[in-house]
């Protein structure tokens, strides 16, 4: 690049960073047989690459505490917020009834854990080709177990109050390495028909599975240019009671800002990403955790009824890391997902 | 930048990174009243900003062990390698006798510590405007106290063997934070007439002053574009015995690769850097240390006879940090320092 022209495309620049990152880092993922010490984890955070952590102890994993029976007994008639979609794709790009593409938010419905579990399937092979009319996914991800209020010593009501005794509010070695408490702790309950579309978070993430199995497709921040991000208009699924409870996608008011989102629906399938992308595929089982560093792209599927917990920690804004993530984001030319110039990849996914 | 043109200059890109870095980080420098723990230092390395560390204990500082008398007694008639220049500017861009600019390496001469100290001045105001014909600086910086051989358990002869008992081979909290021993430990002895021109190292650096005072001008890696790096032909000072020991600059053979170096000789003086640069000026006294992170630019001066020690640790090549430093380097258009197109800044410094 040293002797190249003064002007060059942003894409060339992003490709250079992506290739250089891959040259130096490869696509390995470290597997720790036991949780790290705080110092070991501080070193891992500096490198900012995902790590699988075995022997991750959350109370009750070994004793099958997260069974339907236990959850129903503990939660009783309490209502919890559940995302409902016709296709398992909450927060994903979806074709609307008007033939336009939208970033679709799920409907949120409140139900008991018992109702939720009745709507989930333990079929390990179920996927979005199933005949289910609706997909339920407990994925409220707003600090549904502990929010930042909890860590500020404020009143922090939770739909999952009865489960708090089984869910530690922090991951000690992570809190010590980062020198701060989590910002949010979430419980996730879903089945094989729910998928989290590929995205990245402004958080350091410790994600553990306490029942079932999750399948992650991970890409480093430098591979973001491979994801065909576009601006999509916002829409929300609504239940239409007069039509037997079927769902329709309702475009949001015109002044709702469009959402920048990847057009690649299935990055885990062969041929969906450009050949320069270097996805890492890893499955996380009961008793394992994965560290997903800030800015890493992840697409998440699951097998059968899966219960997971995650601890989000605010990222370090000082230093170079956040500057770099902002730069990678700013360098991308992001066009409209409904432009006539070039069809979005989402149509073939 | 999101809505900008597809093509843009590398300089625009570097300026964006530099401004964004400064927006997020400011130009503060943390001062620790005591050395950090290994965990605290691991967090500091992640942020990769300089930190001043007070209460940095090296044996003998309080008891004036690093006096001339002590050094002469301990070292006796042993010869040590000393850099000699006519102007105190070793490893700097210098005008040659042919009117061309060169990257000038010092002559290396071997002498006793006693001879070296006789050639140094404790005058706090001496600088390169002095009348001294030659400037001496013990700055061999090749692991002159402990080299990587020492840490590999190999025989590691040192010119400073008798001083090893006073110089710890490692900084414990740094070794533990980085999970590796140093790569090189160096002793530096000079006076106010010697200057280290602005440069960056591929090392994490713990630098402490045990006698005197050093004055650092620091710039983050993102400010590198402000330094007017150019390619200069290589030359070395040689002593010409037949002319009373005066020195001349001898260009190296034509096949010696040119050296990429900053054209800004005095970045610590007002007006020498572009207004977008954000230099940090900090003085380090006896018993203090500074952490200079990998890739940070530094220019170093000293007051009177100054004795310093530093521990260089190999940088972490995994993750994003090294990729980013390579990118910042690759994005710069570096021309010849002797091109007719545009005169190098070095002439006015």
**Residue numbers in A near B330 (CB within 8 A):** 1-2, 16
For B113-133, what is each residue's pLDDT tens digit?
A: 999 999 998 775 444 444 557
Answer whether residue B272 shows pLDDT above 80: yes
Question: Between chains, do A320 and B322 touch, taking CB under 8 Å as contact?
Answer: no
Query: In Å, what is the CA distance from B74 to each residue of A157, B114, B120, B187, B308?
Result: 70, 11, 18, 14, 17
Scanning B318-337 for CB atoms below 8 A from A yields 318-324, 326-327, 330-331, 333-334
> What is the structure's pLDDT at A10?
85
Question: Between chains, do B20 and A331 touch, taking CB under 8 Å as contact?
Answer: no
Whose tokens are 């997971």? That residue is A308
From the CA atom positions of chain A, what is the Rg in Å?
21
The answer to whether residue A317 neighbours chain B at the CB level (below 8 Å) is yes
Answer whether residue B349 shows pLDDT above 60: no
Q: Please state whether beta strands B135-137 and B80-85 pair in parallel, antiparallel, or not at all (unpaired).
A: antiparallel
What contacts A14, CB < 8 A, 6 or more positions away?
A222, A224, A225, A328, A331, A332
Closest Cα in chain B, distance from residue A7 (Å): 5
Crossing angle for the helix pair A38-47 and B38-47, to the nearest 10 degrees: 10
**Residue numbers in A near B177 (CB within 8 A):** 39, 42-43
By CB atoms closer than 10 A (0-12, 13-18, 19+), residue A138 is buried
Q: Please state whether beta strands A195-199 and A89-90 pair in parallel, antiparallel, or not at all (unpaired).
A: parallel
Share of chain B above pLDDT 70, in %: 91
Lowest mean per-residue pLDDT among A303-307, A335-339, B78-82, B284-288: A335-339
Q: Evaluate whether B101 touches B77 at the Cβ level (below 8 Å).
A: no
Question: Between chains, do A9 and B6 touch, taking CB under 8 Å as contact?
Answer: yes
The answer to whether residue B29 neighbours chain A at the CB level (below 8 Å) is no
How many CB pairs below 8 Å do chains A and B form together?
Answer: 111
Question: Between chains, do A7 and B2 touch, taking CB under 8 Å as contact?
Answer: no
Widest CA span in chain B: 69
Of B207, B194, B202, B201, whose CA–CA distance to B310 is shortest?
B207
**Residue numbers in B near A46 (CB within 8 A):** 42, 45-46, 316, 319, 321
**Residue numbers in B near A16 (CB within 8 A):** 327, 330
Question: Between chains, do A320 and B13 touch, taking CB under 8 Å as contact?
Answer: no
Question: Between chains, do B20 and A177 touch, taking CB under 8 Å as contact?
Answer: no
The Cα A50–Cα A218 span in angstroms is: 8
Closest partner residue to B42 (CB to CB) among A17, A25, A42 is A42
Question: Between chains, do B39 and A38 touch, taking CB under 8 Å as contact?
Answer: yes
Closest partner residue to B319 (CB to CB) among A49, A178, A327 is A49
> What is the structure's pLDDT at B209?
96
Q: Comparing B339 with B7, which gets the higher pLDDT?
A: B339
Closest Cα in chain A, distance from residue B177 (Å): 7
Share of chain B above pLDDT 90, in %: 79
> What is the structure's pLDDT at B346?
64
What's the mean per-residue pLDDT of chain B? 91
Query: In Å, what is the CA distance from A44 to each residue of A27, A30, A177, A224, A296?
Result: 16, 10, 10, 21, 14
Closest Cα in chain A, distance from residue B52 (Å): 16
Closest Cα in chain B, distance from residue A27 (Å): 11
Q: Comparing A12 with B258, which gets the higher pLDDT?
A: B258
Question: Between chains, do B21 and A320 touch, taking CB under 8 Å as contact?
Answer: yes
> What is the structure's pLDDT at A59?
81
The answer to whether residue A13 neighbours chain B at the CB level (below 8 Å) is yes
ipTM of the complex: 0.91
Q: Evaluate whether B272 touches B197 at the Cβ level (below 8 Å).
A: no
> What is the structure's pLDDT at A215?
98
Closest partner residue to B324 (CB to CB) among A13, A318, A324 is A324
Scanning B217-276 for CB atoms below 8 A from A yields 221-222
Question: Between chains, do B10 and A6 touch, taking CB under 8 Å as contact?
Answer: yes
> What is the structure's pLDDT at A244?
66
Cβ count within 10 A of residue A260: 15
The answer to whether residue B5 neighbours chain A at the CB level (below 8 Å) is no
Scanning A174-193 for CB atoms below 8 A from B yields 176-179
Segments in chain A below pLDDT 50: 1-7, 125-130
Q: Comparing B61 with B77, which gets the higher pLDDT?
A: B77
With bands split at pLDDT 50, 70 and 90, how would you rate the model's confidence at B6? very low
For B167-193, what is each residue's pLDDT tens digit?
A: 999 999 999 999 999 999 999 999 999
Enumerate the β-bridge partners of residue B146. Answer: B185
For B26-44, what is each residue's pLDDT tens digit?
A: 998 999 999 999 999 999 9
Closest partner residue to B322 (CB to CB) among A2, A24, A321 is A24
Query: In Å, what is the CA distance from B335 to each residue of B51, B105, B258, B262?
Result: 34, 21, 11, 11
Closest Cα in chain B, distance from residue A267 (Å): 23
Q: Comparing A78 with B349, which gets the higher pLDDT?
A: A78
Question: Between chains, do B318 and A20 touch, taking CB under 8 Å as contact?
Answer: no
Residue of B nearest to A28 (CA): B318
Torsion, Cα B174 B180 B184 B190, to 10 degrees, reads: 0
**Residue numbers in A near B49 (CB within 8 A):** 318-319
3-state secondary structure of B72: helix
Crossing angle for the helix pair A321-330 and B10-25, to the nearest 10 degrees: 140
Question: Between chains, do A319 and B45 touch, taking CB under 8 Å as contact?
Answer: no
Closest partner residue to B17 (CB to CB) among A318, A323, A333 is A323
């Amino acid at each position: 690049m040293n002797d190249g022209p003064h002007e060059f495309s942003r894409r060339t620049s992003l490709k250079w960073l992506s290739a250089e990152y891959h040259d130096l880092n490869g696509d390995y993922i470290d597997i720790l047989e036991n949780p790290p010490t705080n110092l070991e984890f501080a070193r891992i955070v500096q490198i900012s690459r995902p790590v699988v952590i075995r022997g991750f102890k959350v109370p009750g994993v070994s004793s099958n505490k997260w069974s339907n029976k236990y959850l129903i007994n503990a939660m009783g008639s309490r209502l919890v917020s559940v995302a409902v979609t016709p296709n398992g794709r909450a927060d994903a790009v979806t074709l609307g009834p008007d033939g336009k593409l939208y970033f679709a938010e799920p409907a949120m419905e409140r139900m008991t854990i018992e109702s939720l579990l009745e709507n989930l399937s333990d079929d390990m092979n179920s996927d979005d080709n199933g005949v289910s009319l609706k997909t339920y996914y407990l994925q409220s991800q707003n600090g549904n177990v502990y929010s930042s209020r909890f860590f500020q010593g404020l009143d922090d009501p939770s739909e999952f109050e009865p489960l708090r005794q089984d869910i530690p509010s922090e991951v000690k070695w992570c809190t010590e390495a980062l020198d701060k408490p989590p910002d949010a702790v979430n419980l996730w309950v879903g089945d094989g028909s729910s998928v989290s579309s590929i995205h990245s978070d402004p958080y350091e993430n410790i994600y553990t599975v306490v029942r079932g199995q999750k399948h992650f497709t991970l890409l480093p921040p430098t591979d973001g240019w491979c994801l065909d991000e576009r601006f999509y208009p916002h829409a929300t699924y609504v239940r239409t009671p007069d039509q037997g409870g079927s769902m329709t996608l309702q475009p949001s008011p015109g002044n709702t800002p469009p959402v920048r989102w990847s057009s690649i629906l299935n990055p885990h399938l062969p041929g969906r990403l450009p050949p320069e992308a270097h996805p890492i595929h890893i499955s996380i089982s009961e008793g394992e955790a994965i560290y997903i560093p800030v800015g890493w792209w992840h697409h998440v599927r699951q097998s059968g009824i899966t219960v997971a917990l995650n601890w989000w920690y605010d990222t370090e804004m000082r230093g170079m890391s956040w500057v770099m993530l902002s730069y990678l984001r700013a360098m991308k030319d992001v066009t409209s997902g409904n432009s006539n110039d070039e069809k979005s990849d989402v149509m073939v996914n």
